[in-house]
Protein backbone atom coordinates (compact mmCIF):
# COMPACT_ATOMS: atom_id res chain seq x y z
CA UNK A 1 0.00 0.00 0.00
CA UNK A 2 2.51 2.59 1.19
CA UNK A 3 5.54 2.94 -1.02
CA UNK A 4 8.63 5.11 -0.99
CA UNK A 5 10.85 4.27 -3.92
CA UNK A 6 14.26 5.90 -4.20
CA UNK A 7 16.06 6.21 -7.50
CA UNK A 8 18.93 8.10 -9.06
CA UNK A 9 21.81 6.56 -7.19
CA UNK A 10 24.94 5.35 -8.87
CA UNK A 11 28.65 5.88 -9.27
CA UNK A 12 29.92 9.43 -9.47
CA UNK A 13 33.39 10.96 -9.35
CA UNK A 14 34.47 13.21 -6.50
CA UNK A 15 33.28 16.73 -7.15
CA UNK A 16 30.40 15.48 -9.21
CA UNK A 17 26.68 15.84 -8.76
CA UNK A 18 23.75 13.50 -8.47
CA UNK A 19 20.04 13.93 -7.97
CA UNK A 20 18.09 11.38 -6.01
CA UNK A 21 14.34 11.02 -6.25
CA UNK A 22 11.85 9.40 -3.92
CA UNK A 23 8.43 8.65 -5.33
CA UNK A 24 5.70 8.28 -2.72
CA UNK A 25 2.35 6.58 -2.93
CA UNK A 26 -0.30 5.17 -0.64
CA UNK A 27 -0.55 8.12 1.74
CA UNK A 28 -1.25 11.84 1.75
CA UNK A 29 2.20 13.00 0.77
CA UNK A 30 1.55 16.70 1.33
CA UNK A 31 0.92 16.11 5.05
CA UNK A 32 4.31 14.55 5.66
CA UNK A 33 7.68 15.86 6.65
CA UNK A 34 10.15 14.25 4.29
CA UNK A 35 13.74 13.44 5.08
CA UNK A 36 16.76 11.88 3.47
CA UNK A 37 19.05 9.64 5.48
CA UNK A 38 22.18 7.83 4.57
CA UNK A 39 23.96 4.83 5.99
CA UNK A 40 27.53 3.88 5.22
CA UNK A 41 28.87 0.40 5.98
CA UNK A 42 29.30 -0.07 9.71
CA UNK A 43 27.74 3.30 10.49
CA UNK A 44 24.45 4.48 11.93
CA UNK A 45 21.92 6.14 9.72
CA UNK A 46 22.48 9.87 9.46
CA UNK A 47 19.85 12.40 8.52
CA UNK A 48 21.22 14.55 5.71
CA UNK A 49 18.18 16.64 4.86
CA UNK A 50 14.67 17.38 6.01
CA UNK A 51 11.88 19.42 4.50
CA UNK A 52 8.57 20.45 6.00
CA UNK A 53 5.28 19.43 4.48
CA UNK A 54 4.89 22.63 2.48
CA UNK A 55 8.55 22.87 1.61
CA UNK A 56 8.99 26.06 3.58
CA UNK A 57 11.78 24.94 5.90
CA UNK A 58 14.76 22.78 5.14
CA UNK A 59 17.32 21.38 7.54
CA UNK A 60 20.81 20.02 6.92
CA UNK A 61 23.67 18.89 9.09
CA UNK A 62 27.02 20.59 8.76
CA UNK A 63 28.41 17.60 6.91
CA UNK A 64 26.33 18.36 3.82
CA UNK A 65 25.28 21.97 4.27
CA UNK A 66 25.93 24.00 1.16
CA UNK A 67 26.28 20.90 -0.98
CA UNK A 68 22.94 19.11 -0.67
CA UNK A 69 19.52 20.55 -1.39
CA UNK A 70 16.24 18.86 -0.57
CA UNK A 71 13.09 19.80 -2.42
CA UNK A 72 9.64 18.37 -2.91
CA UNK A 73 6.84 18.41 -5.41
CA UNK A 74 3.53 17.83 -3.67
CA UNK A 75 1.77 17.41 -6.99
CA UNK A 76 4.11 14.69 -8.18
CA UNK A 77 4.38 13.21 -4.66
CA UNK A 78 8.13 13.21 -4.99
CA UNK A 79 10.98 14.41 -2.82
CA UNK A 80 14.41 15.10 -4.27
CA UNK A 81 17.94 15.35 -2.99
CA UNK A 82 20.29 17.33 -5.19
CA UNK A 83 23.85 16.49 -4.24
CA UNK A 84 26.81 18.52 -5.45
CA UNK A 85 30.53 18.63 -4.76
CA UNK A 86 30.34 15.01 -3.78
CA UNK A 87 33.06 13.48 -1.65
CA UNK A 88 34.06 9.87 -1.10
CA UNK A 89 32.67 10.21 2.44
CA UNK A 90 29.24 10.72 0.91
CA UNK A 91 29.28 7.10 -0.21
CA UNK A 92 26.32 5.38 1.41
CA UNK A 93 22.90 3.95 0.86
CA UNK A 94 20.46 6.84 0.80
CA UNK A 95 16.95 6.44 2.15
CA UNK A 96 13.92 8.67 2.15
CA UNK A 97 11.58 8.85 5.12
CA UNK A 98 8.07 10.19 5.45
CA UNK A 99 6.84 11.27 8.88
CA UNK A 100 3.50 12.54 10.08
CA UNK A 101 2.51 12.33 13.73
CA UNK A 102 3.17 8.75 14.80
CA UNK A 103 3.41 7.47 11.24
CA UNK A 104 6.80 6.85 9.76
CA UNK A 105 7.60 5.22 6.44
CA UNK A 106 10.94 4.32 4.91
CA UNK A 107 12.09 3.59 1.42
CA UNK A 108 14.33 0.72 0.40
CA UNK A 109 17.36 2.86 -0.32
CA UNK A 110 19.53 3.66 -3.30
CA UNK A 111 23.30 3.27 -3.42
CA UNK A 112 25.50 6.30 -3.98
CA UNK A 113 29.18 5.63 -4.55
CA UNK A 114 31.62 8.52 -4.87
CA UNK A 115 34.91 7.26 -6.21
CA UNK A 116 37.50 7.85 -8.88
Sheet with 68-73: strands ordered across:
3-7, 18-25, 78-83, 68-73
Residues 2, 27: contact at Cβ < 8 Å?
yes
Report residue 7's pLDDT band, with 50, 70 and 90 as the boundaries.
very high
3-state secondary structure of 70: strand
32: confidence class by pLDDT, cuts 50, 70, 90: very high
Q: pLDDT for 47-103, tens place per residue?
A: 999 999 998 999 999 999 999 999 999 999 999 999 999 999 999 999 999 999 999
| pLDDT in the model for residue 15 | 98
CA distance 52 to 89: 26
Amino acid sequence: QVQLVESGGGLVQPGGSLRLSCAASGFTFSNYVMSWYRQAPGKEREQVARITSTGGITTYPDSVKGRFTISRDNILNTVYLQMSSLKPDDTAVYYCKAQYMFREYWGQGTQVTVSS
